[in-house]
Amino acid sequence: MSRAEKAFARLLEGRSDANFEFSDVCLVLERAGFTLRQGKGSQQIWFKKGDAEINNLQPRGSQAKAYQVKQVRDPIHKHQLEID
């Protein structure tokens, strides 16, 4: 099982939102077909063509913020996205 697959499974599980590496969230978004558009400073804006939902992420050190992990999980569940 690859790092992306493990991160994807943890993300969908939803039990460790507070202990999620920011790089793993970015990896899942990238593999699920989202595109990165750099925001200001450390802010990252992820979007998927044809989808109105936009994920605006900013790390806290090397960790992702728990509420942002949930914001990433919601459209993945809603649109039943998979990673490749």
pLDDT tens per residue across span 24-35: 999 999 999 999
What's the pLDDT at 46? Answer: 93
- Per residue in 8-61, pLDDT (tens digit) is 999 999 888 999 999 999 999 999 999 998 788 889 999 988 776 778 999 999
Report the alpha-carbon distance of residue 45 to residue 39 in Å, rounded: 6
Report the alpha-carbon distance of residue 69 to residue 18 in Å, rounded: 8
Q: Mind listing the domains of the chain with CATH numbers?
A: 3-78 (3.30.920)
What's the pLDDT at 35? Answer: 93
Number of CB atoms found within 10 A of residue 73's CB: 17
